[in-house]
Amino acid sequence: MQAAMAYAQQNPGLLGVGGEDGQQILHLAQGAYRPIKGSNLGTLLRYHFVGRHQQQQPRSSSTTTPRTSVAKAPPGYKTFVNNAHDDLQMWRLLFPDEKAAGSDSASTVGGQPRRHQPLRGQKKTGAGRFSLSLLQPKQHAYKSVQKTSIMVIGGSNVVARSLTVESLLDPIYKDERSPACFTSVEPLLREAKRRHPDARLTRAEVTRYLAGQRVYTLHRQVRRRFRRLPTLASGLHTDWQADLADFQRLRAQNRGYAYLLVCIDTLSRQVYVQPVKSKRSDDMITALKRTFARCGYTPWRLLTDKGREFTASAVQRYLRDEAEVRHHCMETSPLWHAGMAERANRSIKERLYRYFTHRGTQCWTRVIQRIVSSLNASPNSSIFGMRPNEVCFENAESLRQRIADRAEAERSGRASQHPRFRPGDQVRIERARGAFRKGYLPRFTDEVFTVDRVCTGRRPITYKLRDRDGEPITGLFYANDMCLVLLPPSLDDSSSSNQRKTRKRLPEDSDKNKVYAIERILERRYRKDGTECCLVKWKGYSTRHNSWIPAHTII
C-alpha cells in the first residue's frame, strides 16, 4: 500500500481525475481532495489492500450458516481501478500477486469479480494472455491513436503519456482552423474526444496540458467574485478604512470640490465624510483633520488603498507624527482596495443621485452630511441589524464578539478547504487592471512567481509568493488571483513573427534551454575579444531584470 501511495504521489495525473483548474491532479495523492465521488485516495487504497478481502462467504445448504461482514466498496472505487488500469506500474502495485502480463485470473472490483482487459501497448496472444514484448522495466512504451509508439529510455510511462497527450492536443489547440483553437478546457476536451474517441483523454490531462501553454496561462479567464478574508476590528474606533469618492464631473456645481473623503469604522460601520478639492497633500491633510475632529476620536489604524493621495510623504508624516495613526495599505492583493470604504461610497452615491433626480440639481456639498447622517441611522445587516449610531463603548465588545463568532463559524464550515497550491508551485498573478481594460488582452503577468508559503490559519486560504530572485512579494494572494504554470514559460508558433526571442537564460535561472521574449534592446557594446553584447529588457519582467547577453544568442 505504501509503494502504491508513493507512486501515486509522484504520478497523480495518471489516475485521470480532473478538478477545478487541474489542482486535484496535483494533490490527489495526499487525500487533500475528494475527487472521485466523495472518496479520497487513502480511502480507496485502504479498501483495495485491506477491506476488499473481507468478502462474503458463499451461501451453504444450511440456512443457519453465519456470514462474515461484507466490506462495501467506497464510492468511486471502480472509477479508480479503471483509471489506474492504463498505468502498468500502478497496476502492478495494486495487483502484485498477478502475472505482469495481465493473466486471466480474476480480481474483485467493488466486491464483484472481473476479468482484466488488455493494457495499452500489449498484444493478445491467445488463451486470454497478452505479450509485453514492447514493455521493458522502466522503459515503457505507449501506442497513440495514430498507431505510433513512443519509447522513453530510462524514464517512466508518465512521460510517454504526457507526450502522447501533447501530440494529440497540439494540432487541436494551436491550429487556427480547429473549432477548439485557443479555447479553454471544455471545448478542447470535447473536440479531442470527437477526433480521438479511443484515446481516453480526461479533463485532468487536458487541464494539465493547458497549464503548460503560455498562451492559455496569460489569457485565462479570471474569477473576481469569491469570498475573501473577513475584516475584524479590535474595538470601537480602533480600525478605520478610508477612500476617495470621485465627483470631478460635478466640480463646477460644487464650488470646486472634486472628491469626497469617506472614512468608516470597521466595527460599527459608522461613516464620516469630508469634501476635498484635490488630491494634493495639503488638501488631504486638512480633510483628515476635519474628519477626526467631527468624529471626536482618532483611530489606531487607518487602512487605505495604495493611491498617491494616501501614500504621499507629507500625508504619511502627518499620520505618523501628528495624528499618531498607523497607516496600512491594502496588500492582500495588488488588485484590492479598501472594501468597506468603497461599499460606503456606493451607498452614498446611490442616495445622492436619487436626490439629484428628485431635486433637479447636482450640488452635493450642501446635503452630503445629512445624507451620511441618514445612512448612519439605517439598520445594517453586517452588524446584525443594528444601526451604526447605536453602537457605543458599552455594547461594542459584545458586537465584536458576535462578529468574531460569525467569522469562526464560517471558517469551521469551510474547514474541509485545502490549498490549491503548495510551496514550490510556479504561478502567474493577475495583472493590475484599469477601469476599461479590454477583456481580450492578457490577464496574467508574463513573469512567473513561486509559492513561498501557504497561510491556512484563516479562511479562505491565502499565499505568500517570491520572485525568481527569491525576494518575497509584499502582501497575500488568493488562489483566484493566481494561475498555475506547470511548464517553463516559452514562446510557441502562435507568437508574433516580429517578436525577438533568446535562448540565453536569465541570470536567476538554472535551465539553459528556456526561451524568453525580449521587449527591446536598450544598448549595444563590444567586449575586448570582439564579442557583441546587448543590454535587453525582458518582455513581462521589471527593469531590474535587465541584463547583458551575447548578441548571437538572440534569434
Dihedral pair phi/psi, residue 360, rounded to 5°: 70, 35
- 190 Ramachandran zone, left/alpha/beta (phi>0; psi -120 to 50): alpha
Query: Of all residues in the chain, what percent carry a pLDDT higher than 70?
Result: 68
The pLDDT value given to residue 50: 75
**Mean pLDDT of the region 451-461:** 83
**CATH number for the segment(s) 239-391:** 3.30.420.10
∠ CA 451-10-184 to the nearest 5 degrees? 65
Q: What is the pLDDT of residues 309-360, one digit of tens each?
A: 999 999 999 999 999 999 988 654 444 567 788 889 999 999 999 999 999 9
Q: What is the pLDDT of residues 466-494, one digit of tens each?
A: 888 788 887 888 888 888 888 533 334 33
Q: Provide the pLDDT confidence category of residue 32 given band limits of 50, 70 and 90.
A: very low
H-assigned helices in 58-184: 77-84, 88-94, 157-174
Q: Provide the pLDDT confidence category of residue 111 given band limits of 50, 70 and 90.
A: very low
The pLDDT value given to residue 53: 67
The pLDDT value given to residue 54: 62
Q: Provide the pLDDT confidence category of residue 77 given band limits of 50, 70 and 90.
A: confident
**CATH number for the segment(s) 426-485:** 2.30.30
The pLDDT value given to residue 142: 31
Task: Outline which parts of the chain fall under CATH 2.30.30.
Answer: 426-485
pLDDT higher at 55 or 93: 93
User: SS3 letters for 317-356?
Assistant: HHHHHHCCCEEEECCCCCCCCCHHHHHHHHHHHHHHHHHH
Q: Measuring CA to CA, which residue among 84, 89, 93, 76 is closest to residue 4?
A: 93
Domain 500-553 has CATH 3.30.930.10: no
Q: Which residues contact 280 (CB under 8 A, 6 or more apart)?
A: none
Q: What is the pLDDT of residues 281-309, one digit of tens each?
A: 999 999 999 999 999 999 999 999 888 89
Taking 50 as the threshold, does the pLDDT of residue 172 lie above it? yes
Task: Outline which parts of the chain fall under CATH 2.40.50.40.
Answer: 500-553
Q: Residue 534 in contact with residue 523, Cβ under 8 Å?
A: yes
Q: Measuring CA to CA, which residue among 521, 503, 522, 499 is closest to residue 513?
A: 503
Please give the single-letter amino acid code of residue 276: V
Size (the chain), residues: 555
